[in-house]
């Protein structure tokens, strides 16, 4: 039996806005959970969905059985930024990261990005590609 990490007080919340990203969910969550588990920081991943009809929800819910992953049916009506804000309101982290589902933002950079926020030396960090 796989033990779920504690998500009562995660330090890092990763929000991934999606619309019809079913093909990207497995590669994304495999890489992201590997990186975050290796970092040692408690985490949660929130899939902020804007109305997918391709199985994104079902794939995410499979992951939620073994990892701290949540599907948020954001459907804000205000695009990606609105969906991210819906998920941010439901997040528990001290640091929030927003990244794309297609892994165009390297998951390996997440621990380096959040470190200055978690150690209190910065209030905000921005990564740009």
Q: CATH 3.90.550.10: does it fit domain 12-118?
A: yes
> Is the pLDDT confidence value at 26 over 60?
yes
**CA 12 to CA 37: how far, in whole Å?**
11
Task: Answer for the pair 22, 52: CB distance below 8 angstroms, yes or no.
Answer: yes
Residue 100 structure tokens = 């794309």
Side-chain-side CA neighbours of residue 106 (13 Å): 8
- Give per-residue pLDDT as tens, 29-41: 999 999 999 999 9
Residue 9 binned pLDDT confidence (cut-offs 50, 70, 90): low
Q: In the sheet where 69-73 sits, what is the strand order?
A: 69-73, 43-49, 12-18, 95-98
- Give per-residue pLDDT as tens, 79-123: 999 999 999 999 999 999 999 999 999 999 999 999 999 999 999
- pTM listed for this prediction: 0.91
- Output helix, strand, coil percentages for the chain, rounded to the nearest 5: 40, 20, 45
């Amino acid at each position: 039996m796989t033990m779920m990490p504690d998500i009562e007080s995660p330090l890092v919340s990763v929000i991934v806005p999606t619309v019809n990203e079913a093909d990207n969910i497995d590669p994304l969550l495999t890489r992201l959970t590997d990186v975050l588990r290796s970092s040692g920081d408690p985490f949660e991943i929130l899939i902020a969905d804007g109305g997918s009809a391709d199985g994104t929800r079902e794939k995410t819910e499979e992951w939620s059985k073994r990892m701290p992953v949540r599907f948020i049916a954001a459907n804000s009506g205000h695009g990606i930024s609105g969906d991210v804000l819906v998920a941010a309101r439901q997040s528990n982290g001290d640091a929030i990261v927003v990244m794309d589902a297609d892994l165009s933002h390297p998951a390996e950079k997440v621990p380096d990005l959040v470190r200055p926020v978690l150690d209190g030396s910065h209030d905000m960090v921005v990564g740009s590609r």
